[in-house]
Amino acid sequence: MKKETRYALLAIPLAAFGLAGTTAARADAATDEIARYREMIADGNPSELYAAQGEELWKTKRGPKNASLEQCDLGLGAGVVKGASAQLPRYFKDTGKVQDLETRLMTCMENLQGIDPKSVVAAEWLKGEREKMAALVAYVVTESNGAKINIDMKPAPMKKMYELGKMAFYYRSGPMDFSCATCHGDTGKRIRLQDLPDLRKQAGAAAGWGTWPAYRVSSGQFWTMQHRLNDCYRQQRTAEPIYGSDVTIALSVYLAATGKGGTVLTPGLKR
Amino acid sequence: MKNISMIAALAMASSAALAGSDDLYAEFKAMIDASFKTTGIAAKHRMYQLDFQKACSGEKDPAKSVMKVIEAEQLKTIRYPADGKYFGDWKEGEKIAISGRGLTWTDPTPDNNGGGCYNCHQMSHNEISYGTIGPSLLEYGKIRGNSDEIVKYTWGKIYNAKAYNACSNMPRNGDAQILTEQQIKHLMAYLFDPASPVNKK
């Protein structure tokens, strides 16, 4: 299944070269081809596999306390998964922090199971506890598919995180002087053939925030939002953001608040 | 020196205005400091801003007067080729324009970087995979000719785009040591050589 989809993707650029017209017209046609391809395989999103593993893991007793995550409170009450990730990040009174899905899951793992959050923070992507985290995320976000992005901006810490996230969005640094806004601060732009959502606007932020976490066809990997943001910074040529650090939470609040009211389509399916 | 501190002062004022308070800006800086770490060649000091980066980190560009000061400072960084030769091999230039590699924490060394030109610019008649963040450079030399003025301007623009537009999205390829002088010569040939697919159909 996975192999077949990879071969199908490889065929797209070749087909696009065969089309007549100007370079610009051919580029547009190639973009359309990718959109068509996405529709074609949308019915069989490989994320389902990860979500099934995640659901199993959610119910599995493990860690020093030999407990499952079934009593985890993702913001809608202990054990409520349906619709929970559409309302994250959220200010949690018990931790006194604004948390995204992944940092909240780390809190649950620590409190319920006795698993040290460091084991997630220090792991490599798609390995060890980080791999388990990705499966849990796939499960939880599948349960918010179709819901509206609806984060609670009333608590003061959320308002502050929004302001910090907005400042981070425009913060230029590193050898290439890039910020998030360099690529996502205008409407209708592309990198190579990849369309770029304008994350300053409701529609763009909803399209960006609302379709991650996602399965990436090109790498055959499921990426959480922390993974997505990490790779954005990698391409910005900054230093590496620490897993679950405040800058990642602040940016998430900025994106989710800007995209509020948009539809959550998770897990997404990406190039 | 006086100019640099003026940029810093103006940038500080605009950042504080954006944040709504000096306290929030201090908190923001502390957040950045606590949120990033050195990985591979991507050292943590990359998170600390140059004065012009700070001035260009608002929702809107700073005032024209501030931009003029930055542009004058950046113009001084441009090093023109020591041997007076501006053009290399356009075929090498094409490879550099296509490659978007380099300077991330997964790159082993800070050398041998690509120019990443196609990420943002249309360039040749053949390459359909181009971005649109920057203007099209199709038929660059054919349209503009090769007067000393346009050649020197183009070198400068590639070397340090901020000398012409303080808050340009384009990296300072020469000044920030992204590309070598020889690589810039190859890119120049790619843009100007009549045989290059940028100019020849």
- What confidence tier does A172 reach under pLDDT thresholds 50, 70, 90? very high
Q: Are the Cβ atoms of A163 and B24 closer than 8 angstroms? A: yes
Of A14-18, A54-58, A239-243, B178-182, minimum mean pLDDT range: A14-18
- Prediction ipTM score: 0.92
Residue A187 has pLDDT above 70, yes or no: yes
The kind and range of the H/E element at B16 are: helix B2-19
Nearest chain A residue to B126, by CA: A23
Q: Are A250 and A164 in contact (CB under 8 A)?
A: yes
Q: Average pLDDT of B108-137? A: 97
Domain boundary among A110, A142, A174: A142
Considering the domain architecture, whether residues A33 and A84 belong to the same structural domain is answered as no
Chain A from 170 to 199: CB within 8 A of any B CB: 170-179, 182-183, 186, 188-194, 196
Give the nearest chain A residue to B198 (CA atoms).
A23
Is A271 in the B-facing interface, judged by CB distances under 8 Å? no
Q: Which fold has domain B90-192?
A: Cytochrome Bc1 Complex; Chain D, domain 2 (1.10.760)
* Percent of chain B clearing pLDDT 70 (strictly above): 90
B39 by Cβ neighbours in 10 Å (0-12 / 13-18 / 19+) ranks as middle
Report long-range pairs for B17-26 (Cβ below 8 Å, ≥24 apart): B18/A167, B18/A170, B18/B58, B18/B59, B19/A163, B19/A167, B20/A163, B24/A160, B24/A163, B24/A164, B25/A167
**CA distances from residue B51 to A79, B3, B23 in whole angstroms, order as listed:** 49, 10, 20
pLDDT at B2: 44
Report pLDDT for B22: 87
CATH for A136:
1.10.760.10
Nearest-Å Rg of the Cα atoms of chain A is 19
Residue A147 counted as domain residue: no
CATH 1.10.760.10 domain position(s) in chain B: 90-192
Q: Is A177 helix (H, G, I), strand (E, B) or coil?
A: coil
Which structure tokens are listed for B113?
């970087």
- pLDDT confidence band for A32 (50 / 70 / 90): confident
Lookup: tokens for A213: 């976490």
pLDDT tens for A146-157 read 999 999 999 999
Say yes or no: A206 and A163 in one domain: yes
Q: Alpha-carbon Rg of chain B, whole angstroms?
A: 19
Q: Are residues A226 and A258 in the same domain?
A: yes
pLDDT greater than 50 at residue B29 = yes
Residue A232 a catalytic site member: yes
Say yes or no for a CB contact (<8 Å) between A240 and B42.
Answer: yes
**Residue A15: per-residue pLDDT:** 36
Task: Clarify whether residues A161 and A260 are in a common domain.
Answer: yes
As for how many domains chain A has, the answer is: 3
The residue range of the domain holding A239 is 156-270
Q: How many CB atoms lie within 10 A of CB A102?
A: 26
Same domain assignment for residues A52 and A126: yes
Q: What three-state secondary structure class fits A56?
A: helix
User: Average pLDDT over chain B, rounded to whole?
Assistant: 93
Same domain, A120 and A34: no
Could you say which DSSP state residue A268 is in? E
Question: What's the CA gap between A40 and A12, in Å, rounded?
Answer: 13
Please state the rounded mean pLDDT for residues A20-45. Answer: 67
Residues A219 and A255 reside in one and the same domain: yes
